[in-house]
Amino acid sequence: MEEDQQGGASGPAIPIEGGPGYIVLAATPIGNMGDASARLISWLGSADIVAAEDTRRLHRLVTSLDVQVTGRIISYHEHNEAAKTPELLAQVQSGKVLLMVTDAGMPAVSDPGFRLVEAAAAAGVRVTAAPGPSAVLTALALSGLPTDRFCFEGFLPRKAGERAGRLSELAGERRTMVFFEAPHRLEVMLRALHTAFGPGRAAAVCRELTKTYEEVIRKPLSGLLEWAEAAEIRGEIVVVVAGAPEAAPGTPEDHVAAVNELMGQGLRMKEAVALVAHDVHVSKRELYGAVLAARG
Instruction: Report which of 275, 169, 180 is spatially closest to residue 223, judged by C-alpha positions.
Output: 275
Residues 108 and 46 both lie in one domain: yes
Is the same domain home to 68 and 94?
A: yes
Is there a single domain that holds both residue 118 and residue 174? no
Q: What pLDDT score does 110 carry?
A: 86
Task: Give the max Cα distance, the chain.
Answer: 81
Query: Based on the domain organization, do 176 and 85 belong to the same domain?
Result: no
* 246 part of a folded domain: no
| Total tally of structural domains belonging to the chain | 3
Which of 65, 98, 133 is the last residue before a domain boundary?
A: 133
Asked if 18 and 24 touch (Cβ cutoff 8 Å), the reply is: no
Each residue's pLDDT tens digit, 43-55: 999 999 999 999 9
Residues 86 and 109 in one domain: yes
Tens-of-pLDDT digits for all 296 residues of the chain? 334 444 444 555 544 434 579 999 999 999 999 999 999 999 999 999 999 999 999 999 999 999 999 999 999 998 999 999 999 999 999 999 999 999 999 999 888 999 999 999 999 999 999 999 999 999 999 999 999 999 999 999 999 999 999 999 999 899 999 999 999 999 999 999 999 999 999 999 999 999 999 999 999 999 999 999 999 999 999 999 999 987 656 788 888 988 998 888 888 899 889 888 877 778 888 898 999 999 87
Cα torsion 39, 41, 42, 48: sign: positive
The CATH number of residue 87's host domain is 3.40.1010.10
- 143 occurs within a structural domain: yes
Are residues 163 and 205 both part of a single domain? yes
Q: Which domain holds residue 273?
A: 252-294
Residue 46 lies in a domain: yes
End-to-end CA distance of the chain: 64
What DSSP letter does each residue of the chain carry, written as one string?
---BTTB-SSS-B-PPTTS--EEEEE-B-SS-GGG--HHHHHHHHH-SEEEES-HHHHHHHHHHHT----SEEEE--TTTHHHHHHHHHHHHHTT-EEEEE-SSB-TTSSSTTHHHHHHHHHHT-EEEEE----HHHHHHHHH-S--SSEEEEEEPPSSHHHHHHHHHHHTT--SEEEEEE-GGGHHHHHHHHHHHH-TT-EEEEEESTTSTT-EEEEEEHHHHHHHHHHS---S-EEEEEPPPPP-----GGGGHHHHHHHHHTT--HHHHHHHHHHHHT--HHHHHHHHHHHT-
Q: What is the pLDDT of residue 123?
A: 94
Same domain, 102 and 61: yes
Residue 224 phi/psi, 5° resolution?
A: -65, -40
pLDDT tens-place string over residues 242-285: 999 876 567 888 889 889 988 888 888 998 898 888 777 788 88
Shared domain check, 154 and 115? no
Strand order in the sheet with 126-130: 72-75, 49-52, 97-101, 22-26, 126-130
221 assigned to some structural domain: yes
Question: Where among 77, 110, 133 does a domain terminate?
Answer: 133
pTM score over 0.85: no
Give residue 258's pLDDT.
Answer: 87
Residue 193's CATH number: 3.30.950.10
For 101-139, letters b (16+ CB in 10 Å) and e give: bbbbbbbbbbbbbebbbebbeeeebebebbebbbbbebb
Say if residue 110 is in the same domain as residue 30: yes
113 and 158 assigned to the same domain: no
Of 133, 165, 181, which residue sits at a domain end? Answer: 133
Which pLDDT belongs to residue 280?
A: 78
Same domain flag for 289 and 231: no
- Please state, in angstroms and rounded to a whole number, the distance separating the CA atoms of residues 239 and 226: 15
